[in-house]
Chains A and B, each alone.
Chain A
Amino acid sequence: MNAVQENLNQTIKMEDLADDVENDSKQRKAFFLKTFSFLSPLFLLLLWEALAALKLIDVRLFSSPSRIFETFVPLVASGELLYHTLISTSRIISGFIVGAVPGVILGLSMGLFPPVRALLMPLVAVTFPIPKLAIMPLILIVFGLGESSKIFTIAIGVFYLVLINTMAGVLNIDPIYIDVAKSFSASKIQFYTTVAFPGALPMIFAGLKLGMGTALLLIVAAELSAARAGVGWMIWRAYDMFDIERMFCALIVLAFLGYIFSYLLDIIEKIVIPWKNYQ
């Protein structure tokens, strides 16, 4: 009896132990993983710095983290970097809106109305594959050297991606939802507002995210020609002056902008589509 009880106690203890071990190892694993993802960029920077210090890479071409940092601080302090960042940001946002709003509207109408789709689809299909950079000279001729040519370059890249995704979003709505609306005799307008639009929202957001990626790509190209400010302009200017450190500073800003914009879109998506399963 005593022996049995002892055994039992032993068993319980063993179980507790097993639990603890499991929890411990899980936590430790999570901690290691986090540390890893934090350490890997740090390691790369250190390696870069070390290679530069040992003169294994040419600092005139590749620079080094400390040199970039030395350039970065005064650029921030003088407000110059912020100035260029704000100019580029306002171009990106304007271009994004000018492209995305008609993209959503046309995409919805092309998804909902077969005649509109029949009318516009050939035009979209023919013009979509044209590289947006290839029409930049044309845009410059039409819109001149001012802000509007830069905004339009970004807008046109965003427009197609949002248009095509929105249309696909409407066309891919599960037919059963259409049946439900029909079986309850929803009017056309009720169908658009209660089924077609909300059903297409996830795809619309996929298009917006892709469009944002393209906008960042195009800002650099748009600021190549006839710009006097902006992060993209900074890069081209640094290229002309062979100022590698400045170039890296601008690249850092672009990476940061890309991160911020995608983060903002994620937040907006979670507010607009609270019903989506984000797991």
Chain B
Amino acid sequence: MGWQRKILRVDLSAGTAVAEPLNMEWANAYLGERGLASKYLWENMDPAADAMGPDNVLIFATGPLTGTMSSTSGRYAVVTKGPLTNAIACSNSGGKFGAELKYAGYDLLLIHGRAPTPVYLHIVDDRVEIRSAQALWGQTVWDTEGWLKSHHQDTRLKVASIGVAGERGVYYACVVNDLHRAAGRSGVGAVMGSKNLKAIAVRGNLGVQVDQPERFMAAVRDTHKMLAESAGRKELTECGTDAMIDSMQAFGGLPTRNFQEVQFEGADKLNPEAMTEVRPNGHRNLLTNKACFGCTIACGRIAHIDKTHFTIVNRPQYWHASGGLEYETAFAFGPVVGVDDIDALTFAGYLMNEHGMDPISFGVTLAAAMELYELGVITDADTDGVALNFGNAEALTVMAEKTGKYEGFGQILGLGSKRMCERYGRPELSMSVKGQEFAGYDSRALQGMGLGYATSNRGACHLRHDAFAEDMEDQSGAGKAKPIKVSQDKTAMIDSTGLCLFTSAAWDVPEFQRQIDAACEGDWPESRLWEIGERIWNLERRFNLAAGLTAADDTLPPRMLEDPAPSGTAEGKVCQLDRMLPEYYELRGWTRDGLPSHETLQRLGLEESKA
């Protein structure tokens, strides 16, 4: 138990939906969610296939703890080959959709092929229908969810869908569920769009059982208590992830104006105090905090925009509350594009959710466009007459909307920073790895972050490792390989449980182990969980190598490697990737060319896998 032991395989080309038993051998070796979906992806497609073609497979995956009473048990992952990176893409999301999919009886949902015309899936337990989405094509995420609930007369329907950005192939389009939670990164929404799949609407009535209920409930009680008492959890509840903005500003790791600088003069207009400040007219950005399914942290922000603000003054359809700023959105619409207008940032966040786009990739792509504009490489003639200067709040919101609707210069921004900068002959201005944009941490100040970005299997990402403490203590490149490797394996394991990475504010491997061991059949010692994490990392690596990536893709833009940080604690430093990377390969048991060695594959049981 823990697992439902059933998956749903949908072939949109053939118009079929068939349930089949979960491969328990794979579940035992890869756990669930990220790991198990990566295994299914590996076994079900050619990694060299076109990410936007019908041969790509799109997988929605829950974990063995999804839908249980473990804190943060609402997670699901979307795993596919990503168009932004042409590497394996794995984006996970909270909200309530994942648990509902599990309650409908499925551990995984595999989507093959491409529907001849737009469709959506309607799943109620064993009843699965592929229905026409003609009425929904061209609609926003928000309108799609409303239409589906109304059409099926079911307010408790849970919906994951794409907006026009996903339909039209914006390379970083995401899958949004529950209005403002998203499988955000790597363009998984564009893959969904390429399959002519507008939405998945699901209701589950079957529930989830665990293997040893009494042991499980004891583990739940204790782990809930640990979270409740943890200072890190308290900060997430009170400030959300946005608390990070003050520490990154002070540290000098807050990427500003396309990573030309590492500190932003407007940071205090975007921090948690700014979100809770009551203005002279009585407006306060933050309304409340909100939890995802099962979550006892509730880091999610619910905000609203001042009705007199230029962005919405004449648009009452946006006068309602919705998802507010988190650290990454604050970074991506703030420092990196030089904007300090919190209402404009909040509105840009609304637009990302409404149209289904990754705010990080959008913001960093816009930042690159702003640098191109200020350098004179592009002009008003390219940008539909919008002055793309750093700091222009109107440019931020106008371009967010144009990209979401796939109009004008938004179509160029929709390429992502790598393709856009190549198009204008300035590839070095794209702040990305493997085509995916950096998150809000500068790798000159946080050296291990640089190694993490360079080696992340889904392209630059801050959530594929966790070495913040080590990075803030020691700014040399020495000894970084180990904490990065270890935390990459741990993160891969946590991402495969069905729980949220943020629980690691209070929990470590023993806490996950206790819950997995009670929920799942068999013995789950910590050593087994560590091995699963490492196995997942190496399988993802193999997928990427088979897709055509090489060690040459494990690098950073020249700005990180050659231009010293202009201020902050790392002033004068560059990222010492050349020092860290060989040590990392060796520690991983990979060759100097970044290939997992025969011994490593054998040790992890990966050798028998598809060649």
A and B, one complex? no
